[in-house]
Amino acid sequence: MRNQLFAALSGLMIVSMLLSACAPAATPVPPTAVPPTQAPAQPAQPTQPPPPTNTPVPTKPPAPTATPKPKVARVTFQQEPDSLNPLYSQMWFVYVAHGLFLTTGLLTYNEKNEPIPWIAKEIPSKANGGISADDKVITYKLREDAKWSDGEPLTADDYVFTWQMIMSDKNAVMSRDPYDAYVDKVEAKDKTTLVVTFKEPYAPWQAKIFSPVNATQAIPKHILEPVFQKDGTIDKADWNRNPTVGAGPFVFKEWQSGSHLIFQANPNFWLGKPKLDQVFIKIVPDDAAQLAAMKAGDTDFGVFISYQDMPEIEKMGTFNLVVAKSGYQESWFMNLSTDPKTKGHPALQDVNVRKAIVMAVDREKIIQDLLGGRTKVSATFWEDTPYADPNAKLLPYDPEGAKKLLDDAGWKVGSDGIRAKGGVKLKLRYATTDKDVRKNTQVLVQQMLKDVGVDVELINHSSDLFFAGYADGAPIATGKYDIEEHSTVSNYPDPDIAAWLCKEIPSDQNPSGINSQFICDKELDALFAKQATTVDPAARIPIFYEISKIVNDKVYWSSMWNDPDWWAVSKNMVNVKISGATMFWNAYEWDMK
Amino acid sequence: MATASEALPRIAEEAIATREPLTPTQLAWRRFRRHKMAMFGLFLLALLIVYAVGGAFVFTEAYANTTDRTLTGGLLHGPSLKHPFGTDPTGRDLLARTIYGGQISLLIGLAAVSVALIVGITVGALSGYYGGWVDSILMRFTEAMLNIPQLFLLIVAAKFLGDKVHNFQAFGREFSGSVIVIIIIIGLDSWMYLARIVRSQFLSLKEQEFVTAARCTGTSNLAIIAYHILPNSIAPIIVNATLGVASAILTEAYISFLGLGVRQPTATWGNMLENANRYLETAPWLWFFPGLLILLTVLAINFVGDGLRDALDPRAMVE
Amino acid sequence: MGRYIIRRLLQAIPLLFIISVILFVLSVKMGDPLATFGGRTVLKSEDRKRLTRQLGLDQPLYIQYAVWLVGNDWVAMDLNGDGKPDVGEDGKLIYGTRKGVLRGDLGTSFTTKQPVTEMIAQRLPNTLLLMLTSEVVILIFSLVIGLISALKQYSIFDHVVTALSFIGYSMPIPLLAIGLIYVFAVYFKRWGLPYFPTGGMFDPQAGPGWQQTLWHMVLPVTAISLISIAGYSRYVRANMLEVIGQDYIRTARAKGLAERRVVFVHALKNAALPLVTVVGLDLPFLLAGAVVTETIFAWPGMGRLFYDHTTRSDFPVLMGIIMIISVAVVIFQILTDLTYTYLDPRIRYD
């Protein structure tokens, strides 16, 4: 009978093994349109003559050799994608994958984050008639040769359909921005002419209308419209998990949850079949596992390389470290609320105190010690964009100057070494997420501030609590901090940002507000309102110089360091150019040695 | 006249008769002493406590929490004369941090077990003594708690309570609120086993004659539970509690590794392991020393617990 | 016997109810599922307002629990927030789509929008594979090591094994798992020895297959088993020693039976019995998967699913996993009791 027990256990074990060994192949691939051919790379297959664009052109077909090993580029992701449908995910990793299989943005951005036309034939402007005189109507002319991987043409109808899905109340899409507030209607004049009409002139249109940057690029109408009509929603569409039809250089092949995603070369890609045969995305749990995979040669792309791993990667010699400017800034925000429910420390109401606090911190040293000196402090929030004021000045590291400012403001050093004024001690709550490098930063900052007589309490929250909403009593949204630090960005590459607007202040009447610094500056509000409708970049840039001056002078924002994305690309990869805005934009040009 | 051969046995008899019998505690201690591993464990534990508590007289807490400004070439250094255990990524001396971290780790272990003892004994005693519907309800509840996989409950509870307790001051030092949270969570997760043991002890002991006798003399129920039955069931409770301390220390390490345990600014051996995962090759001293200390402490406690189990075994008492 | 089973099943119902309530309250209140919807930045305020309504998160707690339990397909929905029930194009009221747990609908994940049952079904075989294999390994090794230790009590083997066992179950598992990876995967490869993989279920270039899976299973199974073997082998040893001291063993020896028969047929069966039931009770908890092991070895199992979704406060997934395991625990407890009765004729339940 014990034998029977063992036999039963072994039987169960064998059954499970068979189940899981079979599982990958059993992931149902629904027979939608004609599936793309999955033939392995065959040499001597002539590529079609590429259409005239300003992109590099594949030349002669590869010379026939003995069946070569398939060219598989491997990428490691530290997070599992939640959904591959752009409307249902805001995960950065998903946007990376979109560059492989979807690529239906009207424009895209190159490695210098300059806009280049993609599905649109050219960037609309006043000169070519793409932008109307009153700035309210933008007309895109689409490429005639753009097509989905199943052969269906990619037309303006797909974009109209995408807009309808975003706006439908039956779809719980992640974001309707900017369509809900700014877009009046989207129409297809004909198959290759797309017309977007705005309620008011909308300055950030380039980066945010059907753009891969905010994941509102086109989804296939011929696949998803039938689903919408049948189920009443596309929330649960199979395409969201198995997007077998896309318009990118690679076609989705499979996704095994928790393990990997596979993308196969698309022979029908409208710029010609890519040189690689497959891109394999492996999901690893954390940085340490990614580093181990890099050392073992199990991956070709490492993402979000942390500063402490960089010396080791360079020592390995098999990877190139590539920096992609993404507009992210590791920033300090101070709580300026005066409402008793959410107020910050009263000392922060004095701009000189705010300046002193920043001046007391040796940010360059922190960058040296914790980040290997590989980045720098930013002078403005819009660093690395045309909107950054080249004349903006950084607050210097000047502990003596800081002490003087604090003394002049009435905060005198007490017997315990901590400053106080009117019986109130200068003790600040410094909150951030629980990321390693931030915790270490906190330790160093605490000591630096102690040197000038400011006591600091260190607080850490997990990210999902840090970014939670006012309604959930989240610590930042309800003002339970004095200084908070995290890495954030505008609508990069567009400079627009809503975090300092008066109307975004969270409260009981407005629990969804995101202005968790509780700043209400009428001058700033007016400038932001003006830039939002100034479509001409030449006129818009000076507005941002003014905005930047206010934000810096009043210490609404302070830079800890410029936080670009760091990639590690294997030296076997050829022709890889990574964009900070649209990461894998040139995947169709990649090759491997 | 009595001969020498008669006198000696008589003297011996008298000597034996007047010598007091050994108490159960003394008997247990003698058996414990014979257990070589247990004695070694006790010795090791004593050393570790001296390290964690006594070390505080050698290094101040301020020293443990301060970056060494004299470091050149980055803040992360391996073992050296000035820093025998090396430094952490922010330049703090690791030896000093393991001393203060050890205090917290040991504190968490003891405090968590105390919480478990209080809840477990109360539930088990009431359940075993009163029986009936009291027993039914309490046991249903205990079973419900037991059915939830321990780690899931820990993770969810740690997340739920994680940030709700503020940092507090005690003994002139500042502690993170998460210390209290972890103590409560680990305690509330391990009382069930104690409750079951206590209950079964009570079930068997309450039928004994000394209990009936106590009732006859009018002793209140509470007094019977606390002064009569409980002391007689102390043996398995002690063993379980001792091993529970080891288990609590390991659980704290486990939970801190997942990032849900004790937060800054308080250091524990467990949360020193949390960051050290990424430095496995580049800075092995970061995980080696806290890891070794955890291992030695848990090992010592397990030895002692094993020895206690043998020493307090009721069957052996009948010898 | 039948009445016993029915009684246990009925007792289980209030149990499961209590568990579900406790954990529902904890999971819903532990964080904000919308917090990570914004990707690397904060979710925009209009989107937050809309999604709170569309996902039913603005309802009071007891209503959310009721919807989770019995569904909302009998309730008219108001998804566009205008205060009036929605009306479809055909003029009829639009109802909710959830059937509730009691009808088998565990809900939908907030992050992936997949049905929870589907997500669990994808990961369950992987965890089962790892855990059942580990259990078998644990059983075999614990029995063998415990047996030899008992037979050769106080020998060098016994002392070494005892010392190693103590170290084994005093070791924190994160350390053990990472140590195994670095020694057997990274360093073995450097030294040119046949090496094990760093993680995952198969090698990207080789593709999935049972050989790949077996090869990738070695390190995780070792990590999980070592600690348990350390504990259980001592348990077997203690049981074995107790059994060997019994009268019936002495009788068997006196009867002149071969030592091997005495040990394997008489002693071992009785010593192994408690181990089998202890292990049997462990099985459903293994479904929880060793969270840390699955995380470190990038094994796509249920433990990792739970942890990943905890950090995003995705409580439908968490509740789904917990309920499935709780039900499994109840079932396994009954099965273990029955098995024990079957194996040990002295025990009878009525």
Per residue of chain B (319 residues), give pLDDT as tens. 455 566 677 777 776 766 777 777 777 787 777 778 888 889 999 999 999 888 888 888 778 878 777 777 677 888 888 888 888 888 888 898 899 899 999 999 999 999 999 999 989 888 888 888 888 888 888 887 887 777 788 888 888 887 677 777 777 677 877 888 889 889 988 898 888 888 888 887 877 888 888 888 887 878 877 877 788 778 888 888 888 899 899 888 888 877 788 887 788 888 888 766 677 677 778 888 888 888 899 989 988 888 888 777 655 444 3
Arithmetic mean of pLDDT, A57-62: 42
Which residue has better confidence, B309 or A240?
A240
Give which of A369, A386, A385, A366 is closest to A377, Cα–Cα. A366
Q: What ipTM is given for this predicted complex?
A: 0.77
Model pLDDT, residue A61: 45
What digits encode the pLDDT tens for the residues A493-540? 899 999 999 999 999 888 888 999 999 999 999 999 999 999 888 999
The amino acid at B239: V
Model pLDDT, residue A13: 41
Q: Of B159, B253, B277, which has the smallest distance from its Cβ to C178's Cβ?
A: B277
What digits encode the pLDDT tens for the residues C114-156? 889 988 888 888 888 888 888 889 888 888 888 888 888 788 8
Q: Is there a contact between C15 and B147 if contact means CB atoms under 8 Å apart?
A: yes
Q: How far is CA C59 from CA A457, C55, C84, C91, in A?
A: 36, 10, 16, 26
What digits encode the pLDDT tens for the residues A10-22? 444 444 333 333 3
**Sheet bearing A483-488, strands edge to edge:** A455-461, A427-433, A483-488, A329-334, A557-562
Query: Which pairing describes strands A565-570 and A557-562: parallel, antiparallel, or unpaired?
Result: unpaired
Q: Of C22, C171, C318, which has the smallest distance from its Cβ to B295's Cβ?
A: C171
d(CA A530, CA A8): 73
Give which of A443, A356, A353 is closest to B93, Cα–Cα. A443
Chain A residues near residue B67 by CB distance under 8 angstroms: 443-444, 447
DSSP A487: E
Other CB atoms within a 10 A radius of the CB of residue B70 amount to: 7
A148 pLDDT exceeds 90? yes
HSE-CB for A496 with a 13 A CA cutoff: 21
Model pLDDT, residue A306: 86
> Structure tokens of C62?
């007891």
pLDDT classification of C285: cutoffs 50, 70, 90: low
Q: Of B153, B157, B298, which has the smallest distance from its Cβ to C170's Cβ?
A: B298
Which residue has better confidence, C335 or A81?
A81
Give which of A279, A281, A302 is closest to A290, Cα–Cα. A302
Q: Is there a contact between C322 and B152 if contact means CB atoms under 8 Å apart?
A: yes
Query: Which pairing describes strands A455-461 and A427-433: parallel, antiparallel, or unpaired?
Result: parallel
Query: What are the CB-based long-range contacts (under 8 Å, 24+) for A140-144?
Result: A140/A106, A140/A193, A140/A194, A140/A195, A140/A196, A141/A192, A141/A193, A142/A106, A142/A191, A142/A192, A142/A193, A142/A194, A143/A51, A143/A119, A143/A192, A143/A270, A144/A192
Task: Give the bridge partners for A461, in sequence order.
Answer: A433
Q: Of B74, B263, B265, which has the smallest distance from its Cβ to A369's Cβ?
A: B74
d(CA A100, CA A266): 10
Residue of C nearest to B304 (CA): C166
Q: How far is CA A97 from CA A101, A293, C158, in A?
A: 7, 20, 56
Under 8 Å between Cβ of A465 and C32: yes
Query: Which pairing describes strands A419-421 and A412-413: parallel, antiparallel, or unpaired?
Result: antiparallel
Under 8 Å between Cβ of A491 and A204: yes
- Min Cα distance B186 → chain C (Å) is 16
What digits encode the pLDDT tens for the residues A437-486? 898 899 999 999 999 999 998 888 888 888 888 888 888 999 999 999 99
Under 8 Å between Cβ of A566 and A305: yes
Arithmetic mean of pLDDT, C312-332: 85
> Structure tokens of C4?
């016993």
Query: What are the CB-based long-range contacts (under 8 Å, 24+) for A307-310?
Result: A307/A370, A307/A371, A307/A372, A307/A374, A307/A375, A307/A437, A307/A566, A308/A370, A308/A372, A308/A437, A308/B89, A308/B278, A308/B279, A308/B282, A309/B278, A310/A372, A310/A374, A310/A566
- Min Cα distance B156 → chain C (Å) is 6
Write the DSSP string, A80-99. Answer: --S-SSGGG---HHHHHHHH
Q: How far is CA A449 from CA A189, A323, A409, in A?
A: 62, 32, 16
pLDDT classification of C44: cutoffs 50, 70, 90: confident
Query: Which pairing describes strands A565-570 and A301-302: parallel, antiparallel, or unpaired?
Result: antiparallel
Model pLDDT, residue B164: 72
Q: Is there a contact between B140 and C27 if contact means CB atoms under 8 Å apart?
A: no
Please state, for a pLDDT cut of 90, what percent of chain C lies above it. Answer: 1
B258 in reach of chain A (CB within 8 A): no
pLDDT classification of A313: cutoffs 50, 70, 90: very high
What digits encode the pLDDT tens for the residues A376-418? 999 999 998 999 999 998 899 999 999 999 999 999 998 888 9
Q: Is there a contact between C132 and A1 if contact means CB atoms under 8 Å apart?
A: no
- Which of helix, strand or coil describes residue C78? coil
Q: Which residues 6+ apart lie within 8 Å of A149 measured at CB?
A: A36, A244, A245, A246, A247, A248, A251, A266, A268, A269
Q: Is there a contact between A370 and B89 if contact means CB atoms under 8 Å apart?
A: yes
